């Protein structure tokens, strides 16, 4: 089918559905309502003034937003004239409603703080054009919040895209395709958007947040490429499993024992822990997988920006049903304030491009009285190590300045945490801090 044929099918489908779309007789369209609270929760994480709803339909989501935040400015766009006609009957002040194509958004550059797209994306014949258009109309640091159908299994997605949807076309449906994480990541990268998070929620829903942040994209992608290149030696370096890795640690890291540090930090999490734990970045889970085997009653979320790291962690953790793996950015964590009882961050902060955001976000999602447990490089403890970091590890993309000293880090932490343990071994500091 051509792009025009797909769009014509969608217009016919939703012209018939427009009058009943928000009624109790809407059938399958009632499923869309379940997405609205989660989109609203995502929106409320950051302030915004101008919002665009792509595939707004009869304005259901815009109605909720207008009632809660009437002072904001909203724009809705939909390909089906009948949908916009029904939406206009609501006479919402400050809401502009437009008949148009989401693949060719008819708005000026840098017009919106946030673009939302809820259960409409799978109708778009040219998804890249949509992402490109979103990038153009978003302001710098603006967000795309995307909700749509997905399936974790590539085989199931293939069945949906090649068997189920062609049959749906015979029934007059304009569905084009459903997507997985890799698909969305590629679309974001090609458009210049930075995919901050991608989650599969409930049975078949994807929840994705992408941001217009050129500099962050470049820095994060450099880090991701660097760690991907080192995947065959990463675990050996940290665990000192090889003679050369033992020599490297002894010569350049003053013999700092990551195995001992990991054991010490993980001892702050009791084996009968039954709360919520965030591990960021999870890396390859080389130090944590055995501990997580014991934490049968915990609700564990493992987040990393690097898809390569997540793949390796998934292999180690695949047998454990209480662990969720998420691709995302520590600087924009996709969780509510006070979600976690423990935030664990091992060997990550020296790589994070935006350390201020990382400290703020890990603090935000931690409950009062919760534990922030971490270890990472600090400067000023060894000239040899500092020289290695400055002249090799930073240039190769494994580490990202600026770096704290022991003194500046302790001062930073003591403002908002009580330090249960705070020690340095060589140029590695490790601590357990309790949120005040």
pLDDT tens digit sequence for 222-277: 666 666 666 666 676 677 778 887 887 788 888 788 889 999 999 999 999 999 99
Q: pLDDT, tens digit, for every residue of 132-146?
A: 999 999 998 899 999
Closest CA to 115 of 48, 176, 168, 165: 48
Q: Which CATH architecture has domain 230-435?
A: 3-Layer(aba) Sandwich (3.40)
How many angstroms separate the CA atoms of 394 and 265, rounded? 26
Strand partners, 279: 302, 344
What pLDDT is recorded for position 343?
97
DSSP state of 299: E
Calculate what percentage of the chain has a pLDDT beyond 70. 92
Q: Which of 136-145, 163-172, 210-219 is predicted least confidently? A: 210-219
- Separation CA 258–CA 288 (nearest Å): 12
Residue 411 confidence (pLDDT) = 93
Per-residue confidence (pLDDT) for residue 328, from 0 to 100: 86
Evaluate whether 103 touches 126 at the Cβ level (below 8 Å): yes
What is the predicted pLDDT for the residue at 230? 65
Q: Where in the chain is the domain with CATH 3.40.50.150?
A: 3-212, 230-435
Q: Which fold has domain 3-212?
A: Rossmann fold (3.40.50)
CB contact at 8 A, 75 and 54: no
Distance of CA 32 to the CA centre of its chain: 22
Is residue 222 within 8 A of residue 169, CB to CB? The reply is: no
Token pair of 145 as six digits:
């919040």
| pLDDT-derived band at 407, boundaries 50, 70, 90 | very high
Q: Is the pLDDT of residue 20 over 80?
A: no
Interatomic CA distance for residues 52 and 300, integer angstroms: 34
Instruction: List pLDDT tens digits, range 47-88.
Output: 999 999 999 999 999 999 999 999 999 999 999 999 999 999
> What sign does the CA torsion over 373, 379, 385, 390 have?
positive
pLDDT confidence bin for 322, thresholds 50/70/90: very high
Alpha-carbon distance of 81 to 152, in angstroms, equals 34
Tokens of 389: 């970091």
CB 178, CB 154: distance < 8 Å: no
C-alpha 60/C-alpha 36 separation (Å) is 9
Residue with the bigger pLDDT between 395 and 403: it is 403
At which residue do the structure tokens 């002249």 appear? Answer: 391
- For tokens 């962050």, the residue is 216
Distance, CA of 74 to CA of 60 (rounded, Å): 12
Statement: residue 26 has pLDDT above 60:
no
């Amino acid at each position: 089918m051509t792009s025009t044929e797909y769009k014509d099918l969608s217009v016919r489908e939703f012209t018939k559905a427009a009058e009943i779309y928000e009624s109790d007789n809407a059938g399958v369209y009632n499923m869309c309502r379940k997405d609205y609270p989660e989109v609203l929760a995502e929106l409320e994480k950051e302030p915004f003034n101008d919002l665009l709803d792509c595939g707004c339909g009869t304005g259901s989501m815009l109605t909720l937003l207008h009632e809660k935040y009437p002072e904001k400015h909203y724009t809705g766009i939909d390909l089906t004239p009948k949908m916009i006609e029904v939406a206009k009957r609501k006479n919402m002040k400050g809401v502009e409603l437009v008949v148009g194509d989401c693949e060719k958004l008819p708005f000026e550059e840098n017009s919106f703080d946030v673009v939302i797209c809820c259960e409409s994306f799978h109708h778009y014949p040219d998804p890249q054009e949509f992402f490109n258009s979103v990038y153009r109309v978003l302001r710098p640091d603006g967000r795309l919040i995307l909700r749509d159908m997905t399936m974790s299994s590539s085989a199931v997605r293939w069945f949906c895209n090649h068997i189920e949807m062609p049959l749906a076309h015979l029934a007059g449906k304009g569905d084009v395709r459903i997507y997985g994480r890799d698909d969305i990541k590629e679309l974001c990268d090609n458009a210049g958007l930075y995919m901050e998070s991608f989650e599969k929620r409930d049975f078949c829903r994807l929840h994705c947040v992408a941001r217009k942040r050129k500099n962050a994209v470049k820095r994060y992608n450099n880090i991701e490429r660097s760690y991907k290149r080192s995947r065959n030696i990463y675990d050996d370096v940290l665990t000192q499993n090889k003679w050369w890795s033992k020599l490297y640690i002894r010569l350049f890291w003053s013999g700092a024992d990551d195995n001992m540090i990991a054991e010490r930090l993980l001892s702050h999490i009791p084996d009968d822990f039954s709360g919520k734990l965030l591990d960021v970045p999870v890396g390859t889970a080389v130090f944590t997988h055995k501990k997580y085997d014991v934490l049968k009653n915990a609700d564990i979320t493992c987040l990393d920006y690097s898809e390569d790291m997540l793949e390796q962690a998934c292999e180690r953790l695949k047998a454990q049903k209480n662990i969720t793996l998420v691709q995302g950015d520590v600087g924009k964590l996709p969780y509510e304030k006070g979600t976690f009882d423990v935030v664990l961050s091992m060997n990550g902060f020296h790589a994070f491009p935006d350390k201020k955001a990382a400290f703020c976000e890990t603090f935000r999602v931690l409950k009062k009285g919760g534990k922030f447990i971490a270890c990472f490089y600090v400067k000023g403890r060894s000239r040899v190590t500092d020289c290695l970091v400055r002249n090799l590890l930073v240039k190769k993309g494994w580490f990202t300045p600026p770096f704290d000293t022991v003194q500046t880090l302790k001062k930073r932490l003591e403002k908002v945490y009580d330090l249960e343990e705070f020690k340095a071994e060589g140029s590695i500091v490790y601590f357990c801090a309790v949120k005040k």
